[in-house]
Structure 1
């Protein structure tokens, strides 16, 4: 799904070389991106124990 907002938009992903299994978490600036990553990580990994700090797993 593509969203457009002045100064931001999903067009930045056009041409991005994604790999099978990639997950893109996209939030508006200053709207809780790290919080959203912290919610998604345990769901994806199926454990509340992260193998490494979130900042290293999802820079």
Structure 2
């Protein structure tokens, strides 16, 4: 939908918009990956009653 509005400004603007979307998606997918792994590792450490290791994992991530 947004592409239809952006194309009204020209092909160069649409290309720039596409490039920024790719950069944005890459950045947030990396951050989401760290968050998902953090939840898993902290959950395992809390389940094993390793509170110190869970806190260290949060700090390092």
Relative contact order: is structure 1 or structure 2 higher (C-alpha 8 Å, sep ≥ 6)?
2
TM-score, normalised by the number of residues in structure 2 = 0.26
Larger Rg: 2
Compare the two structures and name the one with the higher helix fraction. Answer: 2
TM-score, normalised by the number of residues in structure 1 = 0.26
